[in-house]
Amino acid sequence: ERLYQHEQDLAAVLVEPVPSRRPDIQPQAFWKQLREFTRKAGIALIFDEVLLGFRIHPGGAQAWFGVEADLVAYGKIVGGGLPIGVVAGKAAYLNAIDGGLWNYGDASYPEAEKTFFAGTFNKNHLGMAAARAVLLALKQRGPSLQQELNDRTARLAQRLNAYFTGQQIPIELVHFGSLFRFSSSENIDLLYYHLLEKGVYLWEGRNGFLSVAHTDEDLEFLIAAVKASVEELRDGGFFGDRVGEVVDSLPLTIAPSQICARLAPLTVPPELETYPNAFHHLEKLSLAWVVQAFGKMGWQFEEKTFSTPALAKQLGVVPSHYRLCDRLLEILAEEGILRQTQSGWELLQVPEISAPQTLAKTVRSEFPQLEAELSLLNRCGAELASVLRGDCHPLQLLFPQGDLTAATNLYQRSPVARMLNTLVAKVVSLAVASANRPLRILEVGAGTGGTTSYLLPSLNGDRVEYTFSDVSPLFLAKAQQRFRDYPFVEYCTLDIERDPSSQNISPHQYDIIVAANVLHATENLRQGLKHIRQLLVPGGLLAIVEGTMRQRWLDLIFGLTEGWWKFTDTDVRPSYPLLPASQWRTLLWETGFRDICVLPEDAGIPFPQQSVTIACSPRQFPLTKAQQQLWVLAQLQKQGSIAYNESIRLELRGTLQVAALQQALQQLVHRHEALRIRISEGGEAQEILPTLTLNLPLIEVSEAREKAAEWVQQQVRQPFNLSQEPLLRVQILQLRENYHWLVLTVHHLAIDGWSIDVILRELGELYSAYCQQVSPQLETPVPFSDYLKAQFNQRDRLAEDKAYWLAEYADSVPLLSLPTDFPRPTVQTYSGRQENRLIELSCCRQLQGFSQQQGCTLFMVLLACFNLLLHHLSGQTEFAVGISAAGQLALGWKNLVGYCVNVLPLRCQIAGETFVDYLNRLQKTALSAYEHQNYPLSELLDELNLKRDPSRPPLISVLFNWDKFGEGLRFSQLNVKAVDHFSGATKRDLTWNLTTTGEQLRLTCTYNTDLFKPETIQDWSDRYEFLLRTVVENPAITLTAIEQHWQELDQRKQRQNEQALEATKRQKLKRVTRKPIQGREGS
């Protein structure tokens, strides 16, 4: 507008296409409009690309934005490290400097008058040579050079911004191409000093530049330094508490999609059944007001071609209404009166002149329900010409002498307003009814209070605190008077376009935020939604009411105001303030909101003009230390990720009710948050999705059982994309009519062994209930988020556990070295295999009786024998063995599903004592370990500062485990067998897993095939069972005597092998056929 006002005074417009201090501002549409303006006005357009020239593209900002300047200034990059300045441009300007195109030393000469220019660095020989070399290198590499750097910078920004968002740090890494800088509403100068201390220098201008010299290792170093610096600042009291330390319990137990399902199916109110036809008449009436206004302003529709600025100047339109004028011309184009061209507009036909006052009476007579719309439209339409010329202020039309009546009627009493406001009230009521505590509700830009008047009567003042906010003192004063009978309402001034913290509003204050017909009036939708997220608690609800299509009658009412056209986010809204519903879904998702639903569309009523969009803010938590370790392993190599795929198959025999099973699985996912987590791309946080709909098709498998097992194995070995998909996959396979397989595969980041047992047991109960058409009787599960918060809130209470484990390994760290069949690879591998065996029933019963006699669990007896086996195999008297500790038991939360297990590095010491004495000593050691189980293994490894050996797992290479997998499963009228799938990958050298199935013990030995042969593991399992029998028969046997028994076993095995070999030889001899020796011919 300023440029149009001073058009006659301007010789040139000098701009930096992207402000180097604000690289997030990239107004491509503005530059194109500016180019059009300067071209038509004969004004030179100069781009200042001294800092950014050649960084974004070989053609610079001109090529990137598709805008050709008249002159461009370059520097920095083109000098190759030397000071230089370059001016490039069109001959019409540069000929005045050098005289035009001519060559020194021949007959050519400057055709234009030259201008003398000189200086210390002008045309410096070294600088010219460097510039030439740089330009040739850029030309040789082509655009791929910049594209590669742009992409790497974008990934850097994505990773750090995911961390900032997940940790709720008020910083954003903004960038343009490979230029980047940290942007924050707070003073972050201290961050740069912390970075400098860690070896990262950002010059005082605070811009960073990525170059081809920077390696991936450099970027990882930078990311680690930023995170470490932020955490140090947090420790010093900056940026608030860490995520997870102060997060309240989830206030709402209902998600947007569930609210939508509760409201469906919606029915169209009778008064809106004719609205499509009424809307058509409103649009026709709006056209009539537009034509009349242009006629009043003197436009006779004689010009065949013209531009908006030219016509606006001719008609006397004030610059502040140029965008409105352009929209009015678009309305004429929609009717076929005009056609938009590259340079402006072309007149196709002269519009038919009709009296809008007469048409308005007809519309009011036919559609009396449109009284509120017509009242404002006719008032504003009649004064449209005066508004365009600046003779009438639009607010005097909307609120004459501060009277809000007409606007209030539109926002409150019109048929569309009644429907949408009623929907919002129902949404909020359902959310409040689901709450487990009193809620805080904020209405943003509440304005005339049209939506407020529907919400307040439906709320219980004992259950809610309601905040009415707006930027206008007039609206606030009127609201305080109007809603004085609601004592639970507070009033405050809030500008959602500004950072809430700058307005003394703390983050995460509100459980529900309502924004009715306000967000379109902001400059930048992303910024407004970002501020709303700052105000919402994790999992909080957002309800947006907005128009969702171009509507002429709105343009002639609210389009008269500056707020309607103040948007600058032209990448989202190129030319109009309202977004269609599909774009709202996309934008909300991009800004971090989840479970986005649009009403009434998603509840069965297509209504393109306006909608209520509901969504929830994400619930994000940092990964636990144990999860972080798994995530890192999953990134290192594909096989490492597959090793943590946990998969179970339920073989179901009988008449399966597939619908009941699908319903049970979906309910299981709804019950347990851990089954709905997704990991951020950088591994900084995990997001608990509000809902997750499983895709559960019934797959018919016609092949034999072996083929089906092969197919399942391929599914199990498929790695999860941790940041793009849920960590759960489910398949239902039908092999025969009454024989099905249910295959569940979950990444270990989401569950542990205890969780699997909970999942299978609950699945059976849910399925049985749905088959019998009764309500399942299951206790409410403990949310995984409660476990995460407990983990982070107990950090200060881990000192005792830490001291215990550090004392355990204070003198030395004994590593177990088992004899291997193959040399250990230099880098740890994960290729695995399993050997299984059933321990005879008689031995199992003896073990049960023996453990009861000794006053210990069966687990302790089995572990003691395993330790003695390791002692025998390795010859070591000290070593570490891993045992699992279920975090659920430590907290008393038995129905908690999640990755809560901690591996305890049990230090085993073998002495020359009796087995019973060793058993008692081991029991005391194990109980002490369980008492201090909360200290994460990963932190202990950091504290021990072990020398990293990439060929083996740190500290624990062997794991012992015992569980009750798949016992007592009950599925209505089905025979169920649980089978544990092996992914073909192993996490450790050896895992010794014992499972009780009824009265039997199943031993599963999982081992690394790059270290051991199958026959070796079979031999070790033979020895283990032999040892179990030995100690049960003779509990007082000494460990020395046990070694003698090993020798007897070896001798027995040797004799058996020799006998077997002899028997084989005899069998071969028996098959030999004797033939007589034939004499030589002629002998």
In this model, does residue 246 exceed pLDDT 50?
no
Give strand pairing partners of 443. Answer: 468, 514
**Binning pLDDT at 50, 70 and 90, where does residue 425 land?**
very high
Q: How far apart are CA 86 and CA 684, in angstroms?
A: 44
Q: Given the DSSP bridges, would you call strands 645-653 and 739-747 parallel, antiparallel or unpaired?
A: antiparallel
Shared domain check, 804 and 710: no
- pLDDT of 35: 86
- What secondary structure does DSSP assign to 265-304, as a single string? SP---GGGTTHHHHHHHHHHHHHHHHHHHHHHTT--S--S
Q: Which helix (H) or strand (E) holds 577?
A: none
Q: What is the enclosing helix (H) or strand (E) of 141?
A: helix 125-141
> What's the confidence (pLDDT) of residue 37?
87
Element holding 418 (H helix, E strand)? helix 415-434
Same domain, 833 and 767: no
DSSP letters for 343-411 = SSEEE-SPPPP--HHHHHHHHHHH-GGGHHHHHHHHHHHHTHHHHHHTSS-HHHHHSGGG--HHHHHHH
Mean pLDDT of 987-1002: 87
In a domain, 850, yes or no: yes
377 and 511 part of one domain? no
- Residues 6+ positions from 638 with CB-CB distance below 8 Å: 719
Average pLDDT over residues 835-859: 89
User: Which residue in 349, 343, 348 sits closest to 311, CA to CA?
Assistant: 343
Helix or strand or coil: residue 984? coil
Mean pLDDT lowest among 213-217, 556-560, 923-927: 213-217
Query: What whole-number distance in Å separates Cα of residue 903 and Cα of residue 897?
Result: 17
Q: Where among 569, 603, 619 does a domain terminate? A: 619
Domains contained in the chain, number: 6
CATH number of domain containing 215: 3.90.1150.10
Q: Which two tokens stand for residue 34?
A: 């500016």
Residue 998 tokens, joined: 């009824």
- pLDDT band at residue 807 using 50, 70 and 90 as cut-offs: very high
Asked if 153 and 119 sit in the same domain, the reply is: no
What distance in Å separates the CA atoms of residue 349 and residue 703, rounded to the nearest whole number?
70
Residues near 543 by beta carbon (within 8 Å), at least 6 away in sequence: 424, 427, 428, 512, 513, 514, 515, 612, 613, 614
Q: What is the pLDDT of residues 171-186, one digit of tens each?
A: 999 988 888 999 987 8
Predicted confidence (pLDDT) per residue in 406-421, tens digit: 888 998 889 999 999 9
Q: What is the pLDDT of residue 874?
A: 94
Pick the last residue of a domain from 219, 235, 251: 235
pLDDT for residue 245 is more than 60: no
The residues near 719 (Cβ < 8 Å, ≥ 6 apart) are: 634, 638, 641, 642, 645
Average pLDDT estimate for 829-850:
89
The proportion of the chain whose per-residue pLDDT surpasses 90, expressed as a percent, equals 47
Structural tokens at position 690: 């509000």
> Which CATH number belongs to the domain containing residue 11 in this structure?
3.40.640.10
3-state SS, 593-631, equals CEEEEEECHHHCCCCCCEEEEEEECCEEEECCHHHHHHH
In tens, the pLDDT along 650-673 reads 999 999 999 999 999 999 999 999
If asked whether residues 123 and 220 sit together in one domain, one would say no
**Pair 70, 215 in one domain:** no
Q: Are strands 305-306 and 345-347 parallel, antiparallel or unpaired?
A: antiparallel
Q: Is residue 1049, in this structure, part of any structural domain at all?
A: no
Say if pTM beats, i.e. exceeds, 0.85. Answer: no
Same domain membership, residue 563 and residue 424: yes
The answer to the question of residue 880 being in a domain is yes
Asked whether residue 1056 is assigned to any structural domain, the reply reads no
Is residue 632 located within the same domain as residue 719? yes
Question: Residue 887 pLDDT > 50, yes or no?
Answer: yes
Look up the CATH number of the domain holding residue 869: 3.30.559.30
Return the SS3 of 676.
Answer: helix
pLDDT band at 1077 (very low <50, low <70, confident <90, very high): low
- Answer whether residue 282 shows pLDDT above 50: yes
Domain end among 592, 619, 646: 619
CA distance 56 to 190: 30
Task: Find where tokens 């039908």 sit.
Answer: 734
Give the C-alpha separation, 171 to 189, whole Å. 12
pLDDT tens across 342-391, in order? 889 999 999 988 899 999 999 999 999 999 999 999 999 999 999 999 99
Amino acid 941: pLDDT: 87
- Residue 1076's pLDDT is 63
Phi then psi dihedrals of residue 173, to 5 deg: -90, 110
DSSP string over 201-262: ---TT--EE--TT--HHHHHHHHHHHHHHHHHHHHTT-S-SPTTTSPPPPS-S--HHHHHHH
State the average pLDDT over residues 25-32: 79
d(CA 930, CA 860): 13
Where in the sequence is the domain holding 651, given as residue range(s)?
A: 623-781
Between 967 and 812, name the one with better pLDDT. 812
Residues 108, 102: Cα–Cα separation, whole Å? 5
Q: What is the DSSP letter of 187?
A: -
Supply the CATH number for residue 522's domain.
3.40.50.150
Compute φ and ψ for 15, nearest 5 degrees.
Answer: -135, 150
**pLDDT at residue 545, as a whole number:** 96
Q: Work out the average pLDDT over 288-299.
A: 95
Identify whether 512 is part of a domain: yes
More confident residue, 815 or 248: 815
In a shared domain, residues 453 and 512: yes
Instruction: Please write the tens of the pLDDT for every residue from 44-75.
Output: 999 988 888 888 888 888 888 888 899 998 88
Whole-Å CA distances, 176 to 137, 200, 210, 975: 22, 20, 11, 62
pLDDT for res 796: 60
User: Could you tell me the CATH number of the domain that includes residue 743?
Assistant: 3.30.559.10
**pLDDT for res 247:** 42
Structural domain includes residue 914 = yes
Q: Give me the pLDDT at residue 248, please.
A: 40
Name the least confident of 19-23, 119-123, 485-489, 722-726.
Answer: 119-123
Q: Per the domain annotation, does 885 fall within a domain?
A: yes
pLDDT in tens, 516-535: 999 999 999 999 999 999 99
Same domain, 471 and 324: no
317 half-sphere exposure, CB direction, 13 A CA radius: 27
Partners of 839 in the β-ladder = 1001
**Beta-bridge mates of residue 611:** 546
Question: In Å, how far are 755, 794, 969 from 979, measured between CA atoms?
Answer: 16, 37, 12
In the three-class reduction of DSSP (H, G, I as helix; E, B as strand; rest coil), residue 47 is classed as strand
> What are the distances in angstroms from CA 742 to CA 239, 823, 979, 980, 986?
47, 40, 10, 12, 24
For residues 288 and 340, state if they share a domain. Answer: yes
Q: Over range 300-323, report the average pLDDT.
A: 92
Least confident of 116-130, 487-501, 864-878: 116-130
Band the pLDDT of 1073: cuts 50, 70, 90: low
- Report if residue 64 sits inside a domain: yes
The mean pLDDT value of the chain amounts to 88
213-227, 275-289, 899-913, 1010-1024: least confident range: 213-227
Quick check: helix, strand or coil at residue 895? coil
CA atoms within 13 A on the CB side of 867: 28
Q: Facing residues of 960 across strands?
A: 883, 992
Residue 1082 — very low, low, confident or very high, per pLDDT cuts 50/70/90? very low
Residue pair 389/297 in contact by the 8 Å Cβ criterion: yes
Confidence of residue 471 (pLDDT cuts 50, 70, 90): very high
Q: What is the pLDDT of residue 244?
A: 43
**Would you say residue 311 has pLDDT above 50?**
yes
Predicted pLDDT of residue 844: 86
Residues 200, 92 share a domain: no
For residue 980, the tally of other CB atoms under 10 A from its CB is 18
Mean predicted confidence (pLDDT) in 976-997: 89
